[in-house]
Chains A and B, each alone.
Chain A
């Protein structure tokens, strides 16, 4: 039983089906009938892609001998090996929980009326309209809190918006400011990445405001206000929505009273329910891994291997690489950063080891190819 049809769920379903080849009944449950390639949301917001270009129906999994149930999960009962959905209930032998993070716009007052974002398909289309109608002024781009999907995304969006405004001829009438909780752009990942992003932002004339923890959006005066009282005026506000780990998992027996799942970080197996594995954005804040699709991808490969090994009894599969990488598209520039978290996530003995694998607008091609490969491999028509 695989809960969630995002990156973790899709990769797990494919991998288990491939290894066990008919020896297991695999079911994916998700309330969304589509798998959406979230890394391309900014491309939808900027009009480079349409929603149907970046999503496919999860029902296509039937080609891989995987059942798909389009239903909303309302409760997980690991002590009974049971999952309750809005319309039914299901039992399992093994369960992979990959329900991701939830967007909670109402956590910040005035967020839904004032802020735009590209952290959902609907949000991306709304942002597209706002940018289309923008005639000049202050664009402020930032984060609602430290926990949000795809940490580099705000910088990418800033770069893409800058490029778009230059093409439209309104860049000289606009100011773009990025604010973040960290002192420098992605400075929590070390100077190798931070210095390159700072250079790209500076080349584009984008201002960066660090150590800015937003607490309030002043709707009347069009201002974002930080914890230490600083204010940023905006005409267009683009902000990551507040995120929370999935609430169904948070209130289940899989989690601590504070709502964080309890897993063995070396296997992602639930500490109390060994036939349950928890991966992706729902568990990563608890084990010091970033909430990013690429991490969920590698976790999915790893836990699928463990389940297959248990069923087959003899299979030896892949180990888990605690790495993250992505293509950051800045419109007319692109970056391919990577970080390795071995020392950080298992025993907290050292910082992430980060570097830049490539830079230049041609790097964007890798993102395009990856999106193509993603659907071709995991959810082909």
Chain B
């Protein structure tokens, strides 16, 4: 019984191999196996790695954002935008002169938005300062390493 089953399985494998051979899949698989190690070399080209790293970082930022906040904000944004930006607004857009701007600054909702924008600006400013400091530190460290490396290369004559 077991032997019969084995024979059946082997027959099916042979049949499948024959089909794969006839439709060219075997050649394709052979080719893929041939280039699999070369593929690593091409996929690790510096340009591709940089693109990949940048995409990964953007995905990481998306990962950090809480979906609940995004959905609540998104729902309310669409609701209030449709309330404020009605079609007639586009037909006759409101014009704000200097006095109008000052008047709008008294609006409670505009004040909340401005508060939020200033918070963002503060965070953005901190980001620029911290990044600058980190990059300067790195460059200083590299500079020291470069001096040692240059000396070493000089000694080696390369």
Q: Is the interface of B mostly helix, strand, loop or mixed?
A: helix
Q: Is the interface of A mostly helix, strand, loop or mixed?
A: mixed
Q: Is the CB of B138 within 8 A of A338?
A: no
Q: Is the CB of A323 within 8 A of B44?
A: yes
B7 beta carbon closer than 8 Å to chain A: no
Residues from chain B with Cβ under 8 Å of A297 in the complex:
40
Q: Is the CB of B146 within 8 A of A323?
A: no
A346 to B57, CA, bound (A): 28
Interface-facing stretch out of A92-100, A182-190, A218-226: A182-190
Residues from chain B with Cβ under 8 Å of A190 in the complex:
138
B41 beta carbon closer than 8 Å to chain A: yes
Q: How far is the CB of B83 from chain A (nearest CB, A)?
A: 40
Residues from chain B with Cβ under 8 Å of A57 in the complex:
none
**A14-B37, A321-B41, A351-B138 given; A260·B156 CB < 8 A:** yes
Chain B residue with minimal CB distance to A305? B41
Residues from chain A with Cβ under 8 Å of B157 in the complex:
256, 262, 271
Q: Is the CB of B57 within 8 A of A323?
A: no
A357 to B43, CA, bound (A): 13
Residues 115-158 of B at the A interface (beta carbon under 8 Å): 131, 134-135, 137-139, 141-142, 145-146, 149-150, 152-153, 155-158
Among candidates B37, B54, B131, B142, residue contacting A355 with C-beta atoms closer than 8 Å: B54
B 38-65 to A, binary, CB cutoff 8 A, 1 in contact else 0: 1011001110011011101100100000
Q: Is the CB of B158 within 8 A of A191?
A: no
A322 to B47, CA, bound (A): 11
Q: Is the CB of A355 within 8 A of B56?
A: yes
A249 beta carbon closer than 8 Å to chain B: no
A191 to B134, CA, bound (A): 7
Q: Is the CB of A288 within 8 A of B149?
A: yes
Among candidates B46, B137, B139, residue contacting A321 with C-beta atoms closer than 8 Å: B46
Q: Is the CB of B152 within 8 A of A338?
A: no
Q: Is the CB of A348 within 8 A of B50?
A: no
Q: How far is the CB of A16 from chain B (nearest CB, A)?
A: 13
B106 beta carbon closer than 8 Å to chain A: no
Q: How far is the CB of B134 from chain A (nearest CB, A)?
A: 4
Q: Is the CB of B152 within 8 A of A260?
A: yes
Chain B residue with minimal CB distance to A261? B156
A264 beta carbon closer than 8 Å to chain B: yes
Q: Is the CB of B44 within 8 A of A325?
A: yes
Residues from chain B with Cβ under 8 Å of A286 in the complex:
152, 156, 158
Chain A residue with minimal CB distance to B53? A355
Residues from chain B with Cβ under 8 Å of A322 in the complex:
46
Q: How far is the CB of A347 from chain B (nearest CB, A)?
A: 10
Chain A residue with minimal CB distance to B146? A348
**A14-B37, A298-B44 given; A287·B158 CB < 8 A:** yes
Residues from chain A with Cβ under 8 Å of B54 in the complex:
355
Among candidates B36, B150, B156, residue contacting A262 with C-beta atoms closer than 8 Å: B156
A334 to B18, CA, bound (A): 43
Q: Point out residues on A near B: beta carbons under 8 Å.
A: 14-15, 183, 187-188, 190-192, 256, 258, 260, 262-265, 271, 286-288, 297-298, 301, 318, 321-323, 325, 338, 340, 342, 344, 348, 350-351, 353-359, 373, 377-378
Q: Point out residues on B near A: beta carbons under 8 Å.
A: 36-38, 40-41, 44-46, 49-50, 52-54, 56-57, 60, 131, 134-135, 137-139, 141-142, 145-146, 149-150, 152-153, 155-158
- 23 A–B pairs (Cβ distance < 8 Å), ordered by A: A183-B141, A188-B145, A190-B138, A191-B134, A256-B156, A256-B157, A258-B155, A271-B158, A286-B156, A287-B158, A298-B44, A325-B44, A348-B150, A348-B153, A351-B142, A353-B46, A355-B57, A356-B56, A356-B60, A359-B60, A373-B36, A377-B37, A378-B37
Shortest 10 CB-CB contacts between residues of A and residues of B = A355-B53, A191-B134, A340-B46, A351-B142, A348-B146, A338-B49, A288-B149, A377-B37, A262-B156, A357-B56
In the complex, given contacts A355-B57, A357-B53, A359-B56, what are 17 additional A-B residue pairs having Cβ atoms less than 8 angstroms apart?
A183-B141, A191-B135, A256-B157, A260-B152, A262-B158, A286-B156, A298-B41, A318-B41, A321-B41, A321-B46, A323-B44, A340-B49, A348-B150, A353-B46, A357-B49, A358-B56, A359-B60
